[in-house]
Amino acid sequence: MDSVTIEEAQATRDDLIRRLKLGEEVVITEYNQPVAQLVASPLPRQVPRLGTLRGTALSMEGFDEPLEEFQE
């Protein structure tokens, strides 16, 4: 994990963003004290399309009929 000062972060903003894309983490410091940590955010989760799993569920005949042990 690299650290840069606030001034360096302002001057090299584009370079910092490229480094984040490569998976690095960067700590921004002020007066040798950490004040912020830059990390890449995870990519947004893709929403599944409706109907893409059609035909994959197993349906058994008589599934919802009462069990023999519980019949009167």
Which H/E stretch holds residue 20? helix 13-21
Q: 1-40 domain in CATH 3.40.1620.10?
A: yes
Q: Residue 55 pLDDT > 70, yes or no?
A: yes
Domain residue ranges in the chain: 1-40
Judged by DSSP in three states, 49 sits in coil
Q: Residues 6 or more apart from 20 whose CB is under 8 A from it?
A: 26, 38, 39, 40
Residue 72, pLDDT above cutoff 70:
no
Helices (H) and strands (E) in the chain, counts: 2, 3
Distance, in Å, from the CA atom of 3 to the CA atom of 35, rounded to the nearest integer, reads: 10
Q: Model confidence over 10-41: pLDDT tens digits?
A: 999 999 888 887 778 899 999 999 999 998 87
36 beta partners: 28
What is the reported pTM? 0.54
